[in-house]
Amino acid sequence: MYQKSLALGFLAALAGVATAESDVHQLTGKTFDEFITTHKDQLVLAEFYAPWCGHCKALAPEYEEAATSLKPKNIKLVKVDCTEEADLCQKHGVEGYPTLKVFHSLNNVKPYNGQRKADAIHSYMVKQSLPPVSLLTKDTIKEFKASDKVVVVAYIAADDKASNETFTAVANSLRDDYMFGGINDAAAAEADGVKFPSIVLYKIFDEGKNSFEEKFDAEAITKFIKTAATPLVGEIGPETYGDYMEAKIPLAYIFAETKEERDTLTEDLKPIAKEHKGKVNFAVIDAKQFGAHAGNLNLKTDKFPCFAIQDTVNNKKFPFDQEKAVNYDNIKKFVKDFVAGKVEPSIKSEPIPEKQDGPVTVVVAHNYDQIVLDKEKDVLLEFYAPWCGHCKALAPKYDQLGKLYAESEFKDKVVIAKVDATANDVPDDIGGFPTIKLFPAGGKEPVTYSGARTIEDLIEFVKENGKYKAAVSVKEAGTEEAAPAATEKKEAKKEEKKEEKKQEKATDEHDEL
Q: pLDDT for 315-365, tens place per residue?
A: 899 999 999 999 999 999 999 999 999 999 999 999 999 999 899 999 999
For residue 42, the SS3 value is coil
Checking if the pLDDT of 67 tops 50, the result is yes
pLDDT in tens, 399-411: 999 999 999 999 9
Domain tally, the chain: 4
SS3 assignment for 177-242: CCEEEEECCHHHHHHCCCCCCEEEEEECCCCCEEEECCCCCHHHHHHHHHHHHCCCEEEECCCCHH
Q: Which of 53, 82, 89, 306 is catalytic?
A: 53
As beta bridge partners, residue 200 has 153, 211
pLDDT in tens, 475-502: 644 444 344 444 444 554 555 455 445 4
Q: Write down the pLDDT at residue 429.
A: 80
Task: Phi first, then psi: give them for residue 325, nearest 5 degrees.
Answer: -75, 140
Q: Are residues 276 and 216 in the same domain?
A: no
pLDDT in tens, 159-200: 999 999 999 999 999 998 899 999 998 888 988 899 999 999
Q: Which domain holds residue 309?
A: 233-340
Asked if the structure places residue 471 within a domain, the reply is: no
Q: Are residues 119 and 138 in the same domain?
A: no
Among the candidates 465, 486, 502, a domain finishes at 465
Asked if the structure places residue 487 within a domain, the reply is: no
Residue 418's closest CA among 387, 391, 441, 447?
Answer: 391
**CB of 115 within 8 A of CB of 103?**
no
Opening angle at CA 436, ends 244 and 242, nearest 5 = 10
For residue 99, the SS3 value is strand
Q: Write down the pLDDT at residue 9.
A: 32
Displacement of CA 425 from its chain's centroid (Å): 20
Q: Write down the pLDDT at residue 486.
A: 47
Asked if the structure places residue 412 within a domain, the reply is: yes
Displacement of CA 120 from its chain's centroid (Å): 16
Q: Which of 82, 89, 306, 388 is catalytic?
A: 388
Across 287-386, the runs of DSSP E, i.e. the strands, are: 306-311, 316-319, 361-363, 378-384
- Could you say which DSSP state residue 324 is in? S
Checking if the pLDDT of 507 tops 90, the result is no
Q: Are residues 219 and 253 in the same domain?
A: no
Q: Write down the pLDDT at residue 444.
A: 76
pLDDT class for 11, splitting at 50, 70, 90?
very low
Q: Rounded to two decimals, what is the model's pTM?
A: 0.67
Q: Are residues 415 and 380 in the same domain?
A: yes
Q: Are residues 365 and 459 in the same domain?
A: yes
Q: Write down the pLDDT at residue 80.
A: 97
Q: Write down the pLDDT at residue 494.
A: 53
Residues contacting residue 353 through CB under 8 Å, at least 6 positions apart: 362, 364
Checking if the pLDDT of 53 tops 90, the result is yes
Q: Which of 82, 89, 306, 391 is catalytic?
A: 391
Asked if the structure places residue 493 within a domain, the reply is: no
Task: Phi first, then psi: give them for residue 342, nearest 5 degrees.
Answer: -100, 0
Among the candidates 280, 310, 340, a domain finishes at 340
Q: Among 94-108, 310-324, 385-399, 492-506, which is the least confidently predicted range?
A: 492-506
Active site annotation includes 82: no
Q: Are residues 294 and 375 in the same domain?
A: no
Active site annotation includes 89: no
Q: Which of 56, 82, 89, 306 is catalytic?
A: 56
Q: Are residues 296 and 375 in the same domain?
A: no
Active site annotation includes 53: yes
Q: What is the mean pLDDT of residues 256-269?
A: 97
Task: Phi first, then psi: give them for residue 137, nearest 5 degrees.
Answer: -130, 175
For residue 334, the SS3 value is helix
Among the candidates 102, 126, 150, a domain finishes at 126
Checking if the pLDDT of 6 tops 60, the result is no
Q: Are residues 245 and 157 in the same domain?
A: no
Across 125-236, the runs of DSSP E, i.e. the strands, are: 134-136, 150-155, 179-183, 198-203, 209-212, 233-236
Q: Write down the pLDDT at residue 511.
A: 40
For residue 359, the SS3 value is coil
Q: Write down the pLDDT at residue 3.
A: 32
* Domain of residue 239, CATH code: 3.40.30.10
Residues contacting residue 52 through CB under 8 Å, at least 6 positions apart: 83, 505, 508
pLDDT in tens, 290-321: 999 999 899 999 999 999 999 998 889 999 99
